[in-house]
Structure 1
């Protein structure tokens, strides 16, 4: 006798509600966390831009307050997209990959100002992109 994992009669169609599972849920949680950290980093740069010190002679130097606004806006976009990922919407996955990819670039350019924190957020962004692109369905072996 063949085993039916879903407990539905064979030949019937099981409808599934569009809700995030597996790696998408992980990505959504990490996006909410990473977006919150980026937004807090942005608020810190906007409120007290004298706190950040450039750690070396880098080719690129930017205004810290401008970077703060960029981090804040990008962090809010990532947080909202993270919450929308719980619905399982494909557009949220696409926006998530784009927004988190932009966040990786922004954090790379943020390295002279806060190197350790920028590296931590880049690592989180790598995990998020991997989780968003890992796929949504498991393949089951047919025995």
Structure 2
């Protein structure tokens, strides 16, 4: 009969030639410590998904600004810095990059985290410039960008990425 201290072999004299046997046969199988596994943190996964979601929202906003500029309402027809066509291309580019960085974050890539933080920060600032066109949605988008930044900056110590 085997015990956790002796392993599967329990016959006397079985110590001969133990160097050539598998660890289970040497009796050390129950004494080895399990290797700690580190998985993706919940915050990092949340940040990756939220970054991709914000990217999809920005792609939709970009396509809307390009294809239906009358959808957004601005006081005097212009935005703080650029017109609707320029903002459409800006949001489209931001959105595609954010979706790619979100996928990289879900894969645990450090470059994607850093890129996601930078893109979310720039998008939050750019949403301020677009604020006159669609105030409620832009404030929600800024809040989502801040949430993405937080989730990508503060993962637990044992997180991969």
TM-score, normalisation: structure 2: 0.71
Q: CA deviation at 1:52?
A: 1.9
Kindly report which structure 2 residues correspond to 1:1-143, keeping only aligned pairs within 5 A, or say none.
Answer: 9-10=32-33, 13-14=35-36, 16=38, 20-55=40-75, 60-137=80-157
How large is the RMSD of aligned CA atoms in angstroms? Answer: 2.5
User: For residues 15 and 22 of structure 1, what CA distance do their matches in structure 2 show?
Assistant: 15
User: For residues 36 and 67 of structure 1, what CA distance do their matches in structure 2 show?
Assistant: 15
Q: CA deviation at 1:32?
A: 1.3
Which runs of no fewer than 5 residues in structure 1 stay unpaired? 1-7, 139-143
Paired residues, number:
129
TM-score, normalisation: structure 1: 0.79
Which runs of no fewer than 5 residues in structure 2 stay unpaired? 1-30
Higher relative contact order (CA 8 A, sep 6+): 1
User: For residues 36 and 14 of structure 1, what CA distance do their matches in structure 2 show?
Assistant: 36
